Amino acid sequence: MRFLFLFACLATTTTTLGAAAAPTTKPVRVYIFAGQSNMDGRGKKSDLVGELARWAKPQADVRIAYSNSDQRGPYATDGLVPLEPGFSVPPGTKERKLPGDTFGPEVSFGRAIADACPGERIVLIKFSEGGTNLQNDWAPDKNKSLYPQFLAFVQKSLKSLSDAGETPQLAGVIWHQGESDAKLAEGEYQKLLTAFIARVRTDLASPDLPFVIGEVYDNGKRDRVRAGQRATAAALSNVKFASAENLKTSDNGTHFDAASQIELGQRLARALIKESSRE
């Protein structure tokens, strides 16, 4: 199965691969989210009060399909559901309920993209698992890798759209991961991430599929990962970088708090919107 590809919108300009959508189908812009705990999200839904209260509400015009891995689940949505906080599975989760009590950057990302693409159908596909590294857990060809689960969930979600008469248009992959790779040698994270991006593009038959890399928090121990993230974005075409500068954590150095998750999601979206504005 091949899927159309395009950048995030400015409504008048898109770039597609493959045949044009048939008149009877409904095009859908699809954004894939993947990574470890800050992608899964540890922002507390209970902190969405005051100025953040608007983010606690469901967003009827953005849909999401979510799953974590079989390491602690899988916990997954029953197909596509309206976007809201809670598609996250922290360690120790025992009650099988979604949405839960924590959230990631998808909440504000989805809103920013929907606002930039008025009238468009927006779908997020999120597969994430905390405490996972790129060296082994996400490596496509390693034993017990999460990658086959990730790819299968993405393809299943895309097929569900096609089966419902919608035309999936791959618009980008959002990647936030790296905290568990802090001990890698200089330059190794860049090599691994470069290979990962190439493999995702190949397996999804989208050689120019945009990626946005979210920066890990600077706790003084992740300099090689952060350098690798920046270098990958600088070296590869259609790969952008979203900084974590001035964001705050809830646990002294790893997991972004609720306000920073909202800001991070907006930064990730702006990276795609800024790129599309040049087309």
pLDDT at 208 over 80: yes
**Contact yes or no for 242/233 (Cβ under 8 A):** no
pLDDT at 23 over 60: no
What span, in angstroms and rounded, lies between the C-alpha atoms of 200 and 205?
A: 8
> Whole-number mean pLDDT of the chain?
90
Give me 64's structure tokens.
């999401």
Span 226-270, pLDDT tens digits: 999 999 999 999 999 999 999 999 998 999 999 999 999 999 999
Give me 84's structure tokens.
């809201």
Give me 194's structure tokens.
């470069």
Q: Backbone phi, then psi, for 64, in 5-degree steps?
A: -140, 140
Percentage of the residues of the chain whose pLDDT score is greater than 90: 84
**Residue 97's pLDDT is what?**
86
Span 130-157, pLDDT tens digits: 999 999 999 999 988 999 999 999 999 9
Residue 172's Cβ-count burial label (10 Å; 0-12, 13-18, 19+) is buried
Q: Which pLDDT band holds residue 182 (cuts at 50, 70, 90)?
A: very high
pLDDT at 6 over 60: no
For the ranges 21-25, 27-31, 102-106, 176-180, which has the lowest average pLDDT? 21-25
**Residue 121's pLDDT is what?**
96
- Averaged pLDDT for residues 96-124: 95
Tell me the domains of the chain and their CATH numbers: 4-276 (3.40.50.1110)
**Residue 150's pLDDT is what?**
98
For the ranges 66-75, 86-95, 135-144, which has the lowest average pLDDT? 86-95
pLDDT at 8 over 70: no
With CA atoms as reference, report the closest residue to 147 among 197, 207, 78: 197
**Residue 25's pLDDT is what?**
73
